[in-house]
Amino acid sequence: MITANQLRKFTEQIFIAIGCSEADARLATDVLVSADLRGVDSHGVARLPGYVRLYDVGRLNPQPHIRVVHETPSTAVVDGDRGLGLVVGPWAMQVAIDKARTAGTGWVAVRNSNHFGIAGYHALLAADHDMIGQAMTHAAPLVAPTFALEKMLGTNPIAVAIPAATEPTFLADFASTAVAYGKLEILQRKGQDIPLGWAQDASGQPTTDANAIRNGGALLPLGTDREHGSHKGYGLGAVVDIFSGVLSGANYGPWVPPFATAGFMQANEGVGEGTGHFFGAMRIDAFRPASEFKIHMDTWIQRFRQAQAVEGKRVLIPGDPEREMEAERLSNGIPLLDPVIQSLTELGDRFGVFFSPA
């Protein structure tokens, strides 16, 4: 168990140690720790060693000159200059927010970035300004389109944040796959089987083998198979890939460079620059008065919470589970798995930063 503040201090010092500015280190840390707080452990500080490996192999610029390379009143393309996606993401979202102030909406495609953490963090930045926020990113290929054997798309998540009045912000934040890769990795580490419907083996057959993806298999799109709509999950992941990659001038599809997992470091860049993202901000009062909208959002949320539920269950609003986890972990601390503690301790040793979970 470690407190969010302890984790922040450590993580900031590591980012500073590889050459980030204090402000960038603070921001990147905030994105990572917010994932740990919300229970998305796969996207939190467990990835810190990965970012450092990106730096080690020269794929990460700790002092990027992030800039707008093209714009119109409601759009921009941002070049991340190989900076941390954790820093490039909020920078680009701010451009979208600024555009929305004057044009009503702002839409920003990003290239030359890398892993930006949880999509929901970025989408939420707009909600603070009475805007609807959207964030999406592609990622290295793990997913086979419907009828394919080959991994062609990443888990390509989408987040949409919509503010309410007295109710908490609606936050849908999900991978366009049947399951997030992090959930599969948990079962992999435990040596357990995965449910049918998450992955296929090397011949395209359903599998319960958590290691199938390392052995020629692939994750399945949301919908699992054609009969249950996998072509829809594939279509959704494809749209995320095209908005993040083709629109921005980044790579796309099977050319998206891998995140820095061990033994899988070769960036195979062929059709664009680095990894891409796509952000949107829509000013609510560009459509109707924000106060009126937010009262209706309260009604929406309350009505859905009150929906008649399956016995023993309740109907959740997108964002509820993560918000409840955050409250719990702010009070009681963040649990870290032993391998994560070990890799962070090693990272601390290397840079002379003391790591001390309780």
Tell me if 182 sits within 8 A of 267, measured CB to CB. Answer: no
Measured from the CB of residue 32, what is the shortest distance to a copy of itself in angstroms? 23
Crossing angle of helices 4-17/338-351, nearest 10°? 40
d(CA 66, CA 94): 12
**Residue with smaller CB distance to a copy of itself, 266 or 308:** 308
Which residue number, 52 or 159, has a Cβ lying nearer to a copy of itself? 159
Burial class (CB in 10 A: 0-12, 13-18, 19+), 73: exposed
State in angstroms the smallest separation of the CB of 11 from a copy of itself: 29
Least distance in angstroms from the C-beta of 208 to a copy of itself: 13
- Which DSSP symbol is given to 244? I
Which of 60/162 has CB closer to a copy of itself?
A: 162
Nearer to a copy of itself, 189 or 288 (CB): 288
Which CB sits closer to a copy of itself, 86 or 139?
Answer: 139
**Of residues 165, 328, 142, the one with CA closest to residue 218:** 142
Distance of closest approach, residue 70 Cβ to a copy of itself, in angstroms: 7
Q: What gap in Å lies between CA 227 and CA 231, rounded to an integer? A: 9
Nearest CB to a copy of itself, comparing residues 49 and 163: 163
CB of 173 to a copy of itself, least distance (A): 8
Q: What is the DSSP string of 58-115?
A: T---SS---EEEEEETTEEEEE-TT--HHHHHHHHHHHHHHHHHHHSEEEEEEEEE--
Q: Is 297 helix (H, G, I), strand (E, B) or coil?
A: helix
Minimum CB–partner distance for residue 191 and a copy of itself (Å) = 19
Q: Using alpha carbons only, what angle is made at residue 266 by residues 265 and 268, rounded to the nearest 5 degrees? A: 140
Distances (CA, A) of 103 to 65, 90, 227, 293: 26, 20, 42, 19
CA dihedral sign of residues 132, 180, 4, 18: negative
Question: Which of residues 1 and 309 has its CB atom nearest to a copy of itself in the complex?
Answer: 309
The DSSP 8-state label assigned to residue 146 in this structure reads T
Tokens of 310: 């399956």
Q: By C-beta, is 62 or 257 nearer to a copy of itself?
A: 257
| CB closer to a copy of itself, 249 vs 258 | 249
In the complex, the smallest distance separating the C-beta of residue 262 from a copy of itself, rounded to whole angstroms, is: 26
DSSP 8-state class, residue 165:
S
Which secondary-structure segment (H or E) carries 296?
helix 290-305
Q: How far is the CB of 37 from a copy of itself (least distance, A)?
A: 20
